Amino acid sequence: MNKKQNITILGASGSIGQSTLDILRRYPDRFSVFALTAYSQVEKLGDLCMQFSPQYAVINGEENAEKLNKLLKSKGCDTQVLCKEDALSFVATHKDTDMVMAAIVGAAGFVSAFAAAECGKKILLANKETLVMGGELFMRAANTHHAAVLPVDSEHNAVFQTLPESVRHEMANGVFSGSLNDKIASILITASGGSFLHTPLNEFEKITPQMAVKHPKWSMGRKISVDSSTMMNKGLEVIEACRLFMLPADKIEVAIHPQSIIHGMTRYTDGSILAQLGTPDMRVPIAHCLGLPERIASGVAALDFFALDKLTFHRPDLQRFPCLRLAFDALKIGGTMPCILNAANEIAVAAFLDNQIRFTQIAQVIEKTMENMPNTTADNVADLLQIDKNARIAADEIIKKFQAA
Ligand code: NDP
Ligand code: MG
């Protein structure tokens, strides 16, 4: 039997982190957990350390680290606790890490995912914001260092499963450098349409954070749930698909498919379309990435075709979902505009969740930030992080103006 795979889970306390650990529990002989990270949930991370005995645990801040250390010592757990700024990158690039689940939410996940790419690690990439803010830089680093980038995002994972064999092989071995474009006609990613697909437009003003974090089909973290309800999530995913699969924007189709059974498809020039179907549960794409090249059990119940009523598809309405239009605009403009879009979205969503702005103002904050920020290029991580920071400041200022008005 092959040697056990050591896995580092960045964002272990989150929704994707939990789903990953749920699968790992089934395969103690196949995987061992090398490091787990969280931001502020000390007790949750403590519980996970007790269950999985990783070598390292990373938490934000000295105070949290001290608390976690005490907790672990009192239970006889000898996991080493880290909290310094470079701790996430340290565990992601450690020589004993074989694969990295990148499941931190937002731009905060970029640096550690990038470090893993530069180190040639196998990366199970859930953190789509990495590809939106700096996809070109990230993919260049991954290719240079032969880091395999396996898509965890369900639509991208679905597309990946339906790609030509040679491309899947290249991607799984970290040697993919853009050979897909002339092999296919297009790819298609589906969208559930979120919670407000049929809500009358004049009621959008009254949408509360509690309403927006409830997703009709998927159980996810708060930020991505709001992104799904504005459909920014699909916008981020179109940019993610362009970067990951190295395809031009006109080769990516989006269809609203409220049943969320087909997740992604590939159209071939002969008229064939290959699709991936499954119950909407993130353990399916996670198990696919973990098991490659084999298939392993995800714990998800088999899809019952006879319980399905119908599968429907329609075009997204860009008036109803201006965030999706803004993402298409950012992609067309290129340069650092996707990074600006992503940063402004994170600030706007956080302000909405904090009841500082209305649901309809999320798109307005992003649009104004995009208008106010110059579009440039970023050839290195330091420049990219500076643009991300500037866009956050610009978005904050716009929110303050909205509040003052
Ligand atoms: P959650 O909010 O559930 O979890 C986020 C994780 O990141 C937590 O472990 C959190 O720690 C940690 N974290 C938050 N902020 C920071 C920070 N500044 N520095 C370091 N760690 C931080 O998110 P999800 O699991 O839902 O999503 C994770 C990523 O996966 C996102 O990029 C999302 O877009 C993507 N994704 C998620 C899907 C889903 O179904 N959930 C589907 C497809 C993609 P703590 O718990 O301590 O706050
Ligand atoms: Mg998705």
Per-domain boundaries in the chain? 5-147, 154-322, 334-405
Residues with CB under 5 A from ligand 2 (ion): 153-155
Contacts of 132 (CB under 8 A, 6+ apart): 236, 239, 240, 243, 338, 339, 341, 342
Quick one: fold of 5-147?
A: Rossmann fold (3.40.50)
Structure confidence by residue, pLDDT tens digits, 189-205: 999 999 999 999 999 99
Q: How far apart are CA 150 and CA 312, in angstroms?
A: 28
Distance (angstroms) between ligand 2 centre and the Cα of 237 equals 7
103 Cβ inside 6 Å of ligand 1: yes
Structure confidence by residue, pLDDT tens digits, 375-402: 999 999 999 999 999 999 999 999 999 9
Q: How far apart are CA 240 and CA 242, in angstroms?
A: 6
What residue owns the CA closest to ligand 1's atom 40?
220
Q: How far apart are CA 171 and CA 154, in angstroms?
A: 16
Structure confidence by residue, pLDDT tens digits, 234-247: 999 999 999 999 99
155 Cβ inside 6 Å of ligand 1: no
Q: Take residue 349 and report the two structure tokens written for it.
A: 């969503």
Which phi and psi (to 5°) does residue 6 adopt? -90, 125
Q: What pLDDT is stored for residue 177 in this prediction?
A: 84
Q: What pLDDT is stored for residue 286 in this prediction?
A: 98
Task: Please check the confidence at residue 93 and state whether its pLDDT lies above 70.
Answer: yes
Q: How far apart are CA 327 and CA 341, in angstroms?
A: 7
Q: What is the average pLDDT across 112-139?
A: 98
Q: How far apart are CA 388 and CA 405, in angstroms?
A: 26
Distance (angstroms) between ligand 2 centre and the Cα of 155 equals 5
Q: How far apart are CA 203 and CA 191, in angstroms?
A: 22
What residue owns the CA closest to ligand 1's atom 16?
39
Distance (angstroms) between ligand 1 centre and the Cα of 271 equals 38
Ligand index nearest the alpha carbon of residue 218: 1
Q: What is the average pLDDT across 277-298?
A: 97
Distance (angstroms) between ligand 1 centre and the Cα of 103 equals 5
Distance (angstroms) between ligand 2 centre and the Cα of 189 equals 9
Task: Please check the confidence at residue 73 and state whether its pLDDT lies above 60.
Answer: yes
Q: How far apart are CA 117 and CA 322, in angstroms?
A: 33
Task: Please check the confidence at residue 179 and state whether its pLDDT lies above 90.
Answer: no
Structure confidence by residue, pLDDT tens digits, 28-56: 999 999 999 999 999 999 999 999 999 99
Domain 334-405 has CATH 1.20.1290.10: no
